[in-house]
């Protein structure tokens, strides 16, 4: 009975919370491009709740990893853990890049806008490069792979 209840709770959390979170982090590059495009076109900051988004995404992922019965989703779907790890890191990079651009757009000055746009591009490039190096050094799928190897 307890096992059934745990399975139901875990499934509900996956469908109601984790799936929307995954969709959000998956679509984050699109939101990022829309936001940057709108700032480049208007010349003004369009307030974007980047910190709130990062905060809530991190909280829901933390809950799913730290509370034992919510972890079931990661066991059933071995790709889920690397997916979340890579896309959350990507979201952090994009939101930091957006914060850099927003700082530049606090003043309405074309030269300053262009300068901070290139700072953002440089940061995104460096961030993605470091991310790739990190995941090559410590593959995101290691946890799942270890188990598969053990089980094999």
Partner 1 sequence: MRPDRKKHYIYYGSFCLAIFIASIFLSMRGTADVSLETLSALQSQEAEKISPGTVFLDEDKKIDALDHVILHDSQKEKTTIWIWDFADHDGDYVQVLADGHPLSDPFMIKNTARKLSVPSEAVIQIKGIKDGNGGEGITYAIKFGANDVSYLNSIDEGKHSTFELKRK
CA distance 122 to 46: 22
Burial 55-85 (b: 16+ CB within 10 A, else e): eebeebbeebeeeeebebbbeeeeebbbbbb
Q: Is 90 in the site for partner 1 (CB under 8 A)?
A: no
CA distance 88 to 80: 12
C-beta closer to partner 1: residue 4 or 151: 151
103: exposed, middle or buried (Cβ count in 10 Å: 0-12, 13-18, 19+): middle
- Which residue stretch of 5-13, 26-34, 65-73, 118-126 sits at the interface with partner 1 (rule: CB under 8 A)? 65-73
Q: Is 142 in the site for partner 1 (CB under 8 A)?
A: yes
Applying CB under 8 A, the site for partner 1 has a residue count of 36
Q: Is 115 in the site for partner 1 (CB under 8 A)?
A: no
C-beta closer to partner 1: residue 121 or 147: 147
Residues in region 5-64 near partner 1 by CB under 8 A: 44-47, 51-52, 54-56, 58-59, 61-64
User: Which residues touch 31 (CB under 8 Å, ≥6 apart)?
Assistant: 48
Closest C-alpha among 81, 93, 149, 82 to residue 121: 93
- Which residue stretch of 3-11, 28-36, 69-77, 115-123 sits at the interface with partner 1 (rule: CB under 8 A)? 69-77
- Which residue stretch of 7-15, 23-31, 127-135, 136-144 sits at the interface with partner 1 (rule: CB under 8 A)? 136-144
Closest C-alpha among 144, 140, 36 to residue 89: 140
The residues that touch partner 1, with contacts defined as CB under 8 A, are 44-47, 51-52, 54-56, 58-59, 61-66, 71, 74-75, 81, 85, 88, 92, 105-109, 112, 142-144, 146-147, 150
């Amino acid at each position: 009975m307890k096992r059934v209840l745990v399975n139901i709770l875990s499934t509900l959390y996956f469908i109601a919370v984790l799936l929307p979170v995954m969709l959000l982090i998956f679509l984050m590059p699109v939101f990022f491009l829309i936001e940057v495009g709108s700032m480049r076109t208007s010349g003004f900051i369009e307030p974007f709740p980047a910190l709130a988004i990062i905060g809530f995404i991190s909280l829901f992922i933390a809950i799913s990893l730290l509370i034992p019965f919510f972890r079931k989703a990661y066991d059933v779907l071995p790709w889920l853990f690397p997916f979340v790890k890579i896309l959350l890191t990507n979201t952090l990079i994009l939101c930091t890049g957006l914060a850099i651009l927003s700082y530049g757009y606090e003043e309405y000055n074309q030269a300053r806008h262009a300068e901070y746009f290139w700072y953002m591009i440089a940061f995104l490039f460096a961030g993605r490069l470091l991310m790739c190096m990190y995941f090559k050094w410590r593959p995101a799928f290691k946890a799942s792979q270890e188990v598969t190897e053990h089980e094999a």
